[in-house]
Amino acid sequence: MADEIQDAHVPTVIADDLHIVYRVNGTRAGKGSATAAMSRIFKRGEERGVRKVHAVKGVSFVSYRGEAIGLIGSNGSGKSTLLRAIAGLLPAEKGKVYTDGQPSLLGVNAALMNDLTGERNVILGGLAMGMTREQIRARYQEIVDFSGINEKGDFITLPMRTYSSGMAARLRFSIAAAKDHDVLMIDEALATGDRKFQKRSEARIRELRKEAGTVFLVSHNNKSIRDTCDRVLWLERGELRMDGPTDEVLKEYEKFTGK
């Protein structure tokens, strides 16, 4: 029993006064002309012609082993950015993130190529996530069966651009969910494909959750947050507005959004 309490207090992710700033080139309102660009170049001072977007402003929290944490907030409140920063994919402007093991985002979309066959994308996606060739070979059939791509004929040997959007989304999820993770982050990946596939993917996420130390879930669906998470972080305009047990935070959030 004493061990369990200790175990529950082993931190897995520590965010310490985290700030994330995006820099966007060439977006000064109404000044797209060449002369305006020139004058920006020669103007004194740092960051000429660059607009800064302060997406996450001083967020601090500690997550512990075994927790499932939901991230909520309106569109553009910095949820996805925060996830990427925790995963170490977006460099912090200020502050630090410490993690136990390598947190990974559930998602492999960016590595896949529409012009390649589904088959090659399974291999490419697996390699991009850091799986070995042997691991991919061992899981290949499982991935294809899970996606259900071949249910309506031999589609896996066709280029992905010939897939319907639902089919492509199913294959992407199947590849992404093939790997086990220490700290798993899921960014609204639940609702892809048809009803049958949604059920299957929810079950797979529950499985992944069991294997992972800590799970972060970004979602606009309060029901799926309530089902999976025991703690919720509420972000608004890049600031941590509330951090606590799911019911408490969701009650406040629903009041805020006027539901």
124 touching another protein, by CB under 8 A: yes
CB of 3 to another protein, least distance (A): 15
246 touching another protein, by CB under 8 A: no
Kindly tell me which residue out of 24, 38, 138, 203 binds another protein, with binding defined by CB under 8 A. 24
Give the Cα separation of 238 and 159 in Å (integer). 40
Kindly tell me which residue out of 19, 28, 36, 62 binds another protein, with binding defined by CB under 8 A. 62
Among positions 129-148, residues that touch another protein (CB under 8 A) are 129-130, 132-133
- Helix spans in the chain (H): 2-8, 34-42, 79-86, 118-128, 133-147, 165-176, 195-211, 222-228, 246-257
Where residue 175 falls (left for φ over 0; alpha for ψ -120 to 50; beta otherwise) is alpha
Kindly tell me which residue out of 68, 69, 71, 123 binds another protein, with binding defined by CB under 8 A. 123
For another protein, which is the closer residue by CB, 92 or 190?
Answer: 92
27 touching another protein, by CB under 8 A: no
111 touching another protein, by CB under 8 A: yes
Number of helices (H) and strands (E), helices first, in the chain?
A: 9, 9
**Of 182, 184, 11, residue with least CA distance to 98:** 11
Distant-in-sequence, close-in-space partners of 200: CB < 8 Å, separation ≥ 6 = 146
35 touching another protein, by CB under 8 A: no
For another protein, which is the closer residue by CB, 158 or 191?
Answer: 158
3-state secondary structure of 113: coil
Going by their DSSP bridges, the two strands 50-64 and 11-25 should be labelled as antiparallel
Strand order in the sheet with 103-106: 103-106, 183-187, 214-218, 68-72, 231-236, 239-245
214 touching another protein, by CB under 8 A: no
Kindly tell me which residue out of 59, 69, 71, 92 binds another protein, with binding defined by CB under 8 A. 92
15 touching another protein, by CB under 8 A: yes
Site mask, another protein, residues 155-174, x = CB under 8 A? ----x---------------
Kindly tell me which residue out of 28, 36, 119, 127 binds another protein, with binding defined by CB under 8 A. 127
For 83-99, the DSSP string reads HHHHTT-S--SEEEEEE
CB of 150 to another protein, least distance (A): 21
For another protein, which is the closer residue by CB, 22 or 256?
Answer: 22
Helix axes 165-176, 195-211, angle to 10 degrees: 10
Binding site for another protein (CB under 8 A): 5, 9-17, 22-25, 53, 60, 62, 84-92, 96-100, 102-105, 107-111, 113-116, 120, 123-124, 127-130, 132-133, 159
